[in-house]
Structure 1
Amino acid sequence: MSNATENPVADAITPGAKRAGPGEYVFNFAAVNQIMGGPDYSPVFGGCVEGDRMIVALMRAPAGKIGDPHSHPNEQWIYVLEGHFEMRIDGQVHKVGPEGLIYIPANRIHQGGATPEADCVFFTCKDTSHGLHGIKYTGS
């Protein structure tokens, strides 16, 4: 008979992400597995940690690289730390610099990445109703 406290840590929803285990409270983004933010559509990469209800990641977008249009069934927040993030949504283009905060509603087709001048480093957060990775928009 097994005890719930002996249960191993559940697998992360996002392939390659670090799943927080019992008693784990502090993480180093540089030390966790570095993953692609959207392997099928985006050049961003960095560390990702998942809890029971939230997914957080510290990502780097290479200078001048914009991901393909995509969506995801969970909301997303992006907080820009370094560089500038170009965000395209609903026919609008936004250039967001350090301390800028971006909100992406669930299921909204969008795309973004770093402006040509420099890489962009950003912190992102989503709920665990879906993983970190979105779904590439194919136009259908």
Structure 2
Amino acid sequence: MSEPAVSEPTKARTPGAKRAGPGEYLFELAKVNHILGGPDYSTANGACVEGDRMIVGLMRMAAGTGAEPHSHPNEQWIYILEGTFRATIGDKPVEAGPGALVYIPAGTIHSGGATSDGDVLFFTVKDASHSLHGIKA
């Protein structure tokens, strides 16, 4: 049995993101356009690449900055590479350091940011049912 065809948008769902095209299999994130992770609610910025079913980003938040409460209709994973990330997901406080993986269910209001000790560098993945950007709460 074959899998259903996936429609291929001609442009990225997220303004400024790199859309993976036919035959593109490697992306040097340092050379990909850097965008804001949430233009009206977050200081996160970095590279974003979109495929047919997933969106990935390598984002940085400067020390002492972060994201105001927001949500998005797609679920999200955040893998911490550097720094300490303090967040509230729903009503639960979370503190994550390097090597930790944070899960944010679709539609859940959340906020978070880097501690004053240093920047947070994180790799994030979302399903492509919506863009990288969320909606400020």
TM-score by length of 1: 0.90
Distance 2:30 2:10 in 1: 22
Any unmatched runs of 5+ in structure 1?
Answer: 1-7
Q: Give the corresponding residue for 2:58.
A: 58
Q: Give the corresponding residue for 2:113.
A: 113
Compute the RMSD of aligned alpha carbons.
1.2
Distance 1:22-1:98 versus aligned 2 partners, 3 A rule: same
Equivalent position amino acid for 1:58 in 2? L
Q: Give the corresponding residue for 1:23.
A: 23
Q: Give the corresponding residue for 1:122.
A: 122
Whichever of the two has the greater Rg, that structure is 1
SS of the aligned residue for 1:69 comes to strand
Q: Give the corresponding residue for 1:5.
A: none
User: 1:1-140 residue pairs with structure 2 within 5 A?
Assistant: 10-137=10-137
SS of the aligned residue for 2:67 comes to coil
| Deviation string, structure 1 residues 60-88 (Cα, Å, up to 9, x no partner) | 01101121100000000000000111111
Distance 1:135 1:90 in 2: 15
What's the CA shift for 1:93? 1.7
Number of aligned residue pairs: 130
What's the CA shift for 1:95? 1.3
Any unmatched runs of 5+ in structure 2?
Answer: 1-7
Tell me which stretches of 4 or more aligned residues in structure 1 moved more than 3 Å: none
TM-score by length of 2: 0.92
